[in-house]
Amino acid sequence: MGTPTEPGIVATGMAFGERHDVPATAADYVPDPETVTALGYDAYHRAAPGVTATDLAARAAREALENADVTVADLDLIVVGNSDVPDYLGWDPSAAVARSLGAHGTPTVLFTQACAAWSPALDHAAGAMALSPGVDTVLVVLVNVVSEAHSNRMDFNGCVASDGAVAAVVRRGHPRLRRLSSAQFTNPEYADLFRIEYGGAAVPLPPPGRGLRDVSPMASVYRHFGRDPERFQAFMKEITGRLADVVDEALARAGRDRSELTRLIHLNDNQQTFRAVADAVGLPLARTNAELARSLGHMGAADQLVCLWRHIEAGELALGDLVALTGVASPGMHWFCTIVEV
Amino acid sequence: MAADPPAVPVMPPAPSEADIAGFVVERFLPGLDAADLDPEYDLLATAVIDSLGILHLAAWLSDEHGVDLPDEELTGRNFRTVRAIRATAGRAVAREERA
C-alpha cells in the first residue's frame, strides 16, 4: 500500500492586527453604528499604523515554520493569497513575503481572488504536489489587511472586515488535516459587484470633488438588479443555494456525503448569513464557526484556516472528522468548498 | 391669443408617516396594527428592515407615490424608522421640485 498523496497541514501560524471592540468603535466608521452592531460582531483586528500585509503574512509564516519544525530552505513552493488592495500596484506580495522570510530561489505564486484566495491557494499546493514529484513541502500564506483608503471596513458587504494572516505548512502525504477535494462555481454575471470603483486602470482617479470611497458598494448592487426586490431576493437565495451545491460537489469528489460532515467552516460572515448558510447545508449553527466569527471579524482569505485551527485548539475537532471549508467571494462572484479530513 | 404658459409639474407630496407605517406593517410586521407602530421604532436594530427591505420600500415609494430615491439615499440609516423614511422621501420630493 502506497503513501497517501493528498497534502496535509503539518502546522499553522497566525498574526493579527490589534484587537478592537466593535460596539465601542463602530461610530468611528459609520454614522449609524447600530446597523453594524446588528451584524453580530463583538471585535475585529486592525493593523497598527505602518504594519503592512507583508509584515503580518511574514509573522504568521515564521510561526508556522517554527511550529512545523522546518526552515525556509525546506520549502519547495510558497503560495500567498492576498485578499485586499495590495501595498503597491504592479507588485507581487508573494515575492515580498518570500524575501521577508529569507527565501532564495524558492518559487512563489500569488492569488488575488479576494476572500476566495484561500481555496485556489490550497488547490495550487495540492496541484503542484500532484504534477511535480519534487514538490513535497509548501507554505500557504493567506493575509487580509484592509486598505482603509479604498473601503470602509464596517460599510462594505455586510461584514466587519478584520486584519490578520494565517500560514500553513502543507506536506505531501501528511496523515493529518488532509485536503481531500475542492469544488468551485463562478457566476460571472456578478463580475462587477463590490468592485472598488476608482484607482484601477479604467478610472485611476476619482472625479474632482469625489473620494475613493464615495461610491456605495450596496448602491451599485441595487443598481445591478434594477432595484427590483424580487431579483435581489433571488440573488440572496442563490448565494446560499450555490454554497450547498459546491459543498455537495466537493464531498462527492472525495467520495463522501453530507451525512459524514462534522463541521462547516464558512467565511467569518455576519450572524444572519451564518444561520442561512447552516440551514442550507443542513447543519446546526453550533457546528459552524459562527461564534468564532463574532470575535475575529472577517479576515478575508484567512478566515477558514484561522478558524480550522482555532476549532482544533479548542478540542472541537477530532481525528477523522470531516470539515467543509466554504466561502462566497466578490468580486467574482465565486462559491468555494474545500473538504479537509482532520 | 397668447400661448398658455408651460405647465409647472406638480410633484406628489411625500407619503405620510401613517402611509409608511401601513406599508411597513403590511409587508414586514403582519399582525401588528399600523397605529401601534411608534414612528421612532428602530426597524434596523430589530432586524425588521434589511437590505432587501430597503429595496421593497424604495420600490413602493416609486410605484405607489412617484418618489424616486437617488442611489446615495439607499442606505440603512435612511430607513431606520418610519420618521426617517418619511424624511428620506421628503428630501427626494424637494430635490425633484428644485430640479
Report if residue B17 sits inside a domain.
Answer: no
Asked, for residue B20, whether it belongs to a domain, the answer is no
Q: Which of B72, B74, B77 sits opposite A31 (nearest CB)?
A: B77
Distance of alpha carbon A13 from alpha carbon A62, whole angstroms: 7
Provide the shortest C-alpha distance from residue B59 to chain A (in Å): 7
Complex-level ipTM? 0.75
The parent domain of residue B92 ranges over 42-99
Lookup: cell for A283: 447543519
Phi, psi of B48 (to 5 degrees): -70, -40
pTM (predicted TM-score): 0.87
Contacts with B58 from chain A: Cβ below 8 Å: 222, 227
Q: Using CA atoms, how far apart are residues A145 and A165, in angstroms rounded to an integer?
A: 8
Closest partner residue to B75 (CB to CB) among A38, A216, A228 is A216
In chain B, the number of structural domains is 1
CB contact under 8 A, A34 and B59: no
CA A265 to chain CA centroid, Å, is: 11
Q: Please report residues of B whose CB lies closer than 8 A to that of A229.
A: 52, 55-56, 59
Give residue A193's pLDDT. 85
Integer Cα distance of A338 and A212 in angstroms:
35
| B55-98: pLDDT as tens digits | 999 999 999 999 999 888 888 889 989 999 999 999 998 887 77
> Which candidate in A159, A194, A222, A275 is best for mutational testing of the B interface (most B CBs within 10 A)?
A222
Which residue in the block uniquely carries the three cell numbers 472525495?
A254
Q: How many CB pairs under 8 A join A and B?
A: 55
> Is B24 a domain residue?
no
Q: Does B28 map to a domain?
A: no
Report the alpha-carbon distance of residue A127 to residue A6 in Å, rounded. 10
Provide, as residue numbers in chain B, all residues whose Cβ is less than 8 Å from the Cβ of A34.
Answer: 42, 44-45, 80
Summarised one tens digit per residue, pLDDT across range B6-54 is 555 555 677 899 999 999 999 999 888 989 999 999 998 787 888 889 9
* Percentage of residues in chain B having pLDDT higher than 70: 88
Provide the 3-class DSSP secondary structure of residue A108. strand
Q: What is the pLDDT along chain A (342 residues), one digit of tens a residue?
A: 455 568 999 999 999 999 999 999 999 998 888 888 888 999 999 999 999 999 999 999 999 999 999 999 999 999 999 999 899 988 999 999 999 999 999 999 999 988 888 999 999 999 999 999 899 999 999 999 999 888 889 987 789 999 999 999 999 999 999 999 999 999 999 888 888 888 888 988 888 888 877 777 778 788 888 889 999 889 888 988 999 999 999 999 999 999 999 999 999 999 989 999 999 999 999 999 999 999 999 999 999 999 999 999 999 999 999 999 999 988 779 999 999 999
Given an 8 Å threshold on Cβ–Cβ distance, is B71 in contact with A35? no
> What is the distance between the alpha carbons of residues B10 and A251, in angstroms, rounded to a whole number?
61
Over 60: is that where the pLDDT of B2 sits?
no
Assess if residue B6 is contained within a domain.
no
The alpha-carbon gap from A331 to the nearest alpha carbon of chain B, in Å, equals 19
Distance from CA of B34 to the nearest CA of A (A): 23
What cell was used for A291?
461564534
Which residues from B are below 8 Å from A272, CB to CB?
Answer: 47, 50
Name the CA dihedral angle for A242, B57, A220, A85, rounded to a multiple of 10 degrees.
-70
Q: Which domains does chain A have, with CATH numbers?
A: 7-175 (3.40.47.10), 181-341 (3.40.47.10)
Closest chain A residue to the Cα of B69, Cα to Cα: A227
Residue with cell 408617516: B17
484566495: which residue's cell?
Answer: A117
CA distances to A130, A163, A219, A299 from A16, rounded to whole Å, are 32, 6, 31, 9
What average pLDDT does the structure give for chain B?
85
Residue B72, domain member (yes or no) = yes
3-state secondary structure of A14: strand
Which residue(s) pair with A271 in the sheet? none
